[in-house]
């Protein structure tokens, strides 16, 4: 059985934690440890983070099995090593620069786009989604007999990062090779290819998010996290019927941002 996320479950002997042990397991202490390691690259396991990125495409369930192992060994679900976040940031910077190049943006326009994508699209939206999912999962998805357990906010943020990475690679890297010569052409093939990439990217985000929360044994009814697939497929079909091009809209939005 996995250990509880509460401090009480860590008690041994007479059932009480020492003040030092209790402080070590507080959310603040974990956050401080994580942020401190963010500037110590030699302490980061980049090889393991790269392995996780690979398996998020090929077998995301294996990534979440590692979260189980961390819970059993370190009594926390969330990552304690920021290497994944650092590698994701590098991918984000490189792919955004590529986007600026494909859209024929100047140097300063590309820098402005990079700042927007990093701090608004990734960090800002990520904080919003993570907080919303953290609240919903703790409020409505925790099993009645498991009320002593809770979803860590850091874990909710990790789930978002896991789901965001495939979306980033599909829309900000793979799509770049098709934008000018296929997707932005005023043809059915153009918006078919572009919108299909969006369908796969957003669908992957939904699926990896579902896997993240369904991996927690104290949550119930996590299948509802797959329900957005229905409106997503409906929107995809509607976009093809009406000739909407999501990538063209994204490119126009990016250009508008950097004016």
Cα 89 off chain centre by: 12
Per-residue pLDDT of the chain (259 residues; tens, 9 = 90+): 333 344 344 344 444 344 444 444 565 666 656 656 666 777 788 999 999 999 999 999 999 998 888 888 888 888 888 899 999 999 999 999 999 999 999 999 999 999 999 889 888 999 999 999 999 999 999 998 777 788 999 999 999 999 999 999 999 999 999 999 999 998 999 999 999 999 999 999 999 999 999 999 999 999 999 999 999 999 999 999 999 999 999 999 998 888 8
CA 75 vs CA 5, 192, 222, 231: distances in Å: 7, 46, 22, 37
Using CB atoms within 10 Å of the CB of residue 128, give its burial: 0 to 12 exposed, 13 to 18 middle, 19+ buried: exposed
Nearest to 251 by CA among 184, 193, 200: 184
pTM: 0.85
């Amino acid at each position: 059985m996995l250990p509880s996320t509460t401090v009480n479950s860590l008690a041994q002997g007479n059932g009480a934690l020492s003040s030092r042990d209790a402080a070590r397991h507080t959310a603040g202490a974990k956050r401080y440890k994580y942020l401190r390691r963010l500037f110590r690259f030699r302490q980061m396991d980049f090889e393991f983070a790269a392995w996780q990125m690979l398996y998020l495409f090929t077998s995301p369930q294996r990534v979440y099995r590692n979260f189980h192992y961390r819970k059993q060994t370190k009594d926390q679900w969330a990552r304690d090593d920021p290497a994944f976040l650092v590698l994701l940031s590098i991918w984000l910077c490189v792919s955004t620069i590529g986007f600026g190049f494909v859209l024929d943006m100047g140097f300063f326009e590309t820098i402005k786009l990079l700042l927007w994508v990093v701090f608004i699209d990734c960090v800002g939206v990520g904080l919003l989604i993570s907080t919303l999912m953290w609240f919903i999962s703790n409020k409505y998805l925790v099993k009645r007999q498991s009320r002593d357990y809770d979803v860590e906010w850091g874990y909710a943020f990790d789930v978002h990062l896991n789901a965001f990475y495939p979306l980033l690679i599909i829309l900000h890297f793979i799509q770049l090779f098709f934008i000018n010569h296929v997707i932005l052409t005023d043809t059915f093939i153009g918006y078919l290819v572009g919108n299909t990439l969006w369908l796969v990217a957003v669908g992957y985000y939904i699926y990896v998010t579902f896997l993240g929360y369904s991996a927690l044994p104290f949550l119930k009814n996590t299948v509802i996290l797959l329900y957005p697939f229905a409106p997503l497929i409906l929107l995809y079909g509607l976009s093809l019927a009406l000739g909407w091009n999501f990538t063209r809209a994204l490119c126009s939005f990016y250009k508008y941002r950097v004016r």
